[in-house]
Structure 1
């Protein structure tokens, strides 16, 4: 849904013009002129800034968030590399710019605490880019899980992820970066986050399989568990890594009768992304199948199955949504509404979610051997 009639679109700054900006946010911003107006683009690479203008956006090319604020930006969409987020978000808060920051906002508990303190001091809100939370079919799945926690037995996540340039190459005006080692600033950030005694395997898994991908699903699990006041951290049973770090899995038991299993595998030869979540309770199952996060012509599918022990009959319900109703789009729409008069940032995941999710995946990373 768009903004209320007569309300001017909110001028925003896009900070960082890499893969997720081109593959997701710019495509959605083009279709949401009633809600958000791209007023400024901040990127250190002039070619990246020029590519946005070449795509038809009349946005000011800026070198810093301060320049973006000076040309009229009233909020910021932060899509820079994850290890730069703390510094960029902090600067935006000091400038009075509310932020929607791509995930992971940070993987370092100390950085997250610093951002929480800065948010409290400045009174400027930060929303976390957990776009899956805004998909209507995903929301139905989470609501179903929360409503059946009393009889829950198992919640599983299984992701087959190419995590390769071919996923987004057709959506970008220049070649996407190849999959490769973490750059030196990222390695330094990971060592700070996990501690100097952490291993390269732990740091790689934390940056990618755990913090880069499964952080989304950890957030969905936490959203469901919050109905019972539970979280994953402190309830880890085991964590494994294999295939040189390309596979990672973890198991938690947040309640005596409930286990949570999450697995991510990087499989470049699989040309299509595959993600399946399944919630098993005493009375039935809920299975959620998700397409690539960058797909606009596919939708999530939720299948609910229940059984009647007396008659032996089953009920099967399938829910899906119209293609194009992506989590990225609905996230930007809600961000725009939160920025307007009477807007409520409480409807968006925030730094408290980030801190809770990071505790869980960091605990899992440090268990890996």
Structure 2
């Protein structure tokens, strides 16, 4: 049996504690947390308590000396460029939380560094690893010729109560963009971008809907359809806490994506629906941090001759989250396992960033 792959966790913040660390804990045959890098003891002390053999390191060089062979990057998004470049310089394959970057120039720089290093950068599109989402993508590919509308609607509390039961320290509230993030957004969108455009780019579009743009791109793969350059309009409202965008990939198909931040709501809700000429496929996704719920896909079809309807329902076993399946898939690539899945990488990151950037710049005051 193969030994677990030793990895360094760079950044022990919310997504690390609420998702990755509890999955790594339950995957001792696949991954070993060799090192953790984070300057805040409130973040790292709980990691050391849960993983007593993990070394607390100040630098990547220390982590490599501690045995790390790959890096899981969970630092704030505006630090990803520097962190991923440093990992590649040391020959460490990377799994980087989304968004890997919202800056096209940075993505191109990372792609060049990836080619020089000869090791891959995988993007943290964990929803793509859910088998129910994969079924939905396959259905979309089969029905694209008859597709009429693809709709995403997300109700997102994005509030501490969503993850506070998973955190060893108080979950941080959503606040104003810190100065480094604001500077990164200004570089990514250009000096003419408004505050509203920067806000929806960082959060509703780049922080959330970029996942669904990636799913749409997967559904469009090989069809010649695209979102970039096909934007009809984008709108932000409620103080930029909500955003919606609409595209027309061809004469017969509209794509609508909406993210609404609703802090008082107790539950996250995401619905993705494809309406075709004779069918409707509805995908319901729980909170990405939920282990006791699973995605559900209903596919309703009609027979025009008989008028009879058929519903097929697909779901998956709770607990095997997209985060876990993503880590399992990453482990297989790190071990160079035959037939290892190809994880989404920088080319997909760039294609997705093109789309959400165009939508952000289309948002009017």
- What pairs with 1:171-182 in structure 2 (closer than 5 Å)? 171-182=166-177
Mapped partners of 1:219, 1:88: distance in 2: 23
Instruction: Classify the secondary structure of the residue corresponding to 1:228.
Output: coil
Mapped partners of 1:345, 1:207: distance in 2: 32
In the alignment, structure 1 residue 310 sits paired with structure 2 residue 313:
no
Mapped partners of 1:136, 1:344: distance in 2: 17
1:197–1:285 distance in 2 versus 1, CA, 3 Å: same
Q: Name the residue aligned to 2:49.
A: 54
- What pairs with 1:47-126 in structure 2 (closer than 5 Å)? 47-126=42-121
Select 1:265's aligned residue among 229, 250, 260: 260
The Cα shift of 1:230 comes to 2.5
Mapped partners of 2:188, 2:359: distance in 1: 13
Q: Kindly indicate whether the alpha-carbon contact (under 8 Å) linking 2:15 and 2:74 is maintained by their aligned counterparts in 1.
A: yes
- What pairs with 1:204-283 in structure 2 (closer than 5 Å)? 204-283=199-278
1:306-356 deviation line (CA, Å, top 9, x unaligned):
000010000001110111111000000000000003466761000000000
Return structure 1 stretches of 4+ with deviation > 6 angstroms: none
In the alignment, structure 1 residue 144 sits paired with structure 2 residue 139:
yes
Query: What TM-score comes out, normalization by structure 1 length?
Result: 0.97
Mapped partners of 2:197, 2:138: distance in 1: 33
The Cα shift of 1:175 comes to 0.5
- What pairs with 1:29-40 in structure 2 (closer than 5 Å)? 29-40=24-35
The Cα shift of 1:229 comes to 2.9
Mapped partners of 1:198, 1:344: distance in 2: 44
1:236–1:328 distance in 2 versus 1, CA, 3 Å: same
Query: What TM-score comes out, normalization by structure 2 length?
Result: 0.98
Instruction: Classify the secondary structure of the residue corresponding to 2:275.
Output: strand
1:220–1:248 distance in 2 versus 1, CA, 3 Å: same
Q: Kindly indicate whether the alpha-carbon contact (under 8 Å) linking 1:74 and 1:97 is maintained by their aligned counterparts in 2.
A: yes
Q: Kindly indicate whether the alpha-carbon contact (under 8 Å) linking 1:302 and 1:318 is maintained by their aligned counterparts in 2.
A: yes
The Cα shift of 1:44 comes to 1.5
Q: Which moved more, 1:43-52 or 1:193-202?
A: 43-52
Mapped partners of 1:47, 1:271: distance in 2: 27
Q: Kindly indicate whether the alpha-carbon contact (under 8 Å) linking 2:227 and 2:247 is maintained by their aligned counterparts in 1.
A: yes
Q: Kindly indicate whether the alpha-carbon contact (under 8 Å) linking 1:78 and 1:99 is maintained by their aligned counterparts in 2.
A: yes
Q: Name the residue aligned to 2:327.
A: 332
1:339–1:280 distance in 2 versus 1, CA, 3 Å: same
Select 1:154's aligned residue among 145, 149, 161: 149
Gaps of 5+ in 1: 1-5
Mapped partners of 1:198, 1:268: distance in 2: 26
Q: Name the residue aligned to 2:353.
A: 358
Q: Kindly indicate whether the alpha-carbon contact (under 8 Å) linking 1:93 and 1:118 is maintained by their aligned counterparts in 2.
A: yes
Number of corresponding residues: 364
Mapped partners of 1:231, 1:23: distance in 2: 34
Q: Name the residue aligned to 1:133.
A: 128
The Cα shift of 1:46 comes to 2.6
Q: Name the residue aligned to 2:9.
A: 14
Q: Kindly indicate whether the alpha-carbon contact (under 8 Å) linking 2:329 and 2:341 is maintained by their aligned counterparts in 1.
A: no
The Cα shift of 1:193 comes to 0.1
1:259-306 deviation line (CA, Å, top 9, x unaligned):
100000000111100000000111201000000000000000000000
